Chain A
Amino acid sequence: MDELDPVIHAQARLRIMATLATLETDDSITFPRLQELLDMTAGNLSTHLRKLEEPAYVDITKTHRGRTPITYLALSKKGRRAFEDYMDTLRTVLGEQP
């Protein structure tokens, strides 16, 4: 817990994690809506999502509505825990009470 999680500790990924963490535990969000909330380009968002997918912080579900493919994103249990740990560590580093 002494070190900040390097996967999360990049501005873009931190913003993604923070945004996904505002969703309720069982909720997920489509790729375009997340992109809109973050104001990131599709390429940039996919790159960072892939980095978050490696340690299984983010659950990516691909499905179809009619013929249109839809990608749903959500924090995994592990991801939510990692984000909370990250917040606690950050607060400790900054000298705040976790």
Chain B
Amino acid sequence: MLALLNDQQRTVTAKMGQFVPLIMAAWGGAWLIGFGALFLIDGLSPAFSLPAGAAIGIFIAVLLIAIGLSIWLGVRSGRGVKSGSDFSGTVYGVTWSGGSFAIAAIGGGLLQAGMSPEIANLFYPSVFIFFVGIMYLAAGAIWRAVPSIVAGAYLLVLASVAPFIGYPWHYLFFAFAGGLGFLLFAILGRNLLNGSASYRTAGA
């Protein structure tokens, strides 16, 4: 009976959470392609150089695809479930946009105060990734999702290390350490869901 019970809860967790590895994989691909494109602006010159406009276009396009896919998969998995207290969820959602605007504003202020474009190249990706890491950690804390905490902590490390690597190599670092890291998380998460471990402890 206890086995049946644990089995049932594991199956439900797996069914409800099967979108998480897919989202992670989408972000892995987006990082790999997006930061890879940014790296190619100057990374391999003079042998090869991707025009900055094209690189930024690719970066934004893959980012939008990953965001769209995350929202679609998230909504699909949550279908049929009504949240009673949406307070945390709403605050969390608004924090994403609030935080992003704040970073853009801080960056704008620093540029106005004389931050060079070279330093802005280091500042923006690192600070945004730092923010995403913090948000993953917050999500992990609110919804008790250990993988989210692991991914968040990993992003904090990436964001902290990157400025020391310098332009344009930090983009290559994000592409591989970040992109491949997420793809690895996706595979691990998939195995975790299919296997014996259940990460959602609430009510179990």
Residues of A within 8 A of B (CB): 9, 11, 14-15, 18-19, 21-30, 32-34, 36-37, 72, 74, 80, 87, 90-91, 94, 96
Residue interface bits B68-83, CB-to-A below 8 A is 1, else 0: 0000000000011111
With A27-B83, A28-B82, A28-B84 already in contact, the answer to whether A22 and B13 are too (CB < 8 A) is yes
Q: Which listed residue, A19, A33, A72, A91, touches B9 by the CB 8 Å rule?
A: A19
Q: Which of A21, A22, A28, A29 has the most CB of B within 10 A?
A: A22
Number of A-B pairs whose CB atoms are under 8 Å? 72
Check if A18 sits within 8 Å of B83, measured CB to CB.
Answer: no
How far is it, in angstroms, between the C-alpha of A30 and the C-alpha of B4 when the chains are bound?
23
Contacts A15-B4, A26-B85, A80-B203 supplied; 11 other A-B pairs, CB < 8 Å: A21-B9, A21-B203, A22-B9, A22-B203, A23-B81, A24-B203, A25-B84, A27-B83, A37-B12, A90-B5, A91-B2
With A21-B204, A22-B200 already in contact, the answer to whether A29 and B80 are too (CB < 8 A) is yes
A27: chain B residues at CB < 8 Å are: 81-84
B:1-41 near A, CB below 8 Å: 1-2, 4-5, 8-9, 11-13, 15-16
Asked if B202 CB lies within 8 Å of chain A CBs, one says yes
Considering the complex, give the chain A residue whose CB is closest to the CB of B11. Answer: A37
A91: chain B residues at CB < 8 Å are: 2
The 9 A-B residue pairs with the shortest CB-CB distance in the complex, in nearest-first order:
A33-B80, A26-B84, A30-B80, A21-B203, A18-B8, A26-B85, A15-B8, A18-B5, A22-B12
User: Dominant SS at the B interface?
Assistant: mixed
Check if B81 sits within 8 Å of A29, measured CB to CB.
Answer: yes
How far is it, in angstroms, between the C-alpha of A21 and the C-alpha of B4 when the chains are bound?
14
Considering the complex, give the chain A residue whose CB is closest to the CB of B200. Answer: A22
Check if B203 sits within 8 Å of A72, measured CB to CB.
Answer: no
Residue interface bits B82-105, CB-to-A below 8 A is 1, else 0: 111100000000000000000000
How far is it, in angstroms, between the C-alpha of A24 and the C-alpha of B13 when the chains are bound?
12
Q: Which of B8, B83, B204 has the most CB of A within 10 A?
A: B8
Check if B82 sits within 8 Å of A72, measured CB to CB.
Answer: yes
B16: chain A residues at CB < 8 Å are: 22, 37
Q: Which listed residue, B5, B81, B204, touches A14 by the CB 8 Å rule?
A: B5
How far is it, in angstroms, between the C-alpha of A67 and the C-alpha of B81 when the chains are bound?
19
Check if B202 sits within 8 Å of A24, measured CB to CB.
Answer: yes
Considering the complex, give the chain B residue whose CB is closest to the CB of A15. Answer: B8
Check if A26 sits within 8 Å of B9, measured CB to CB.
Answer: no
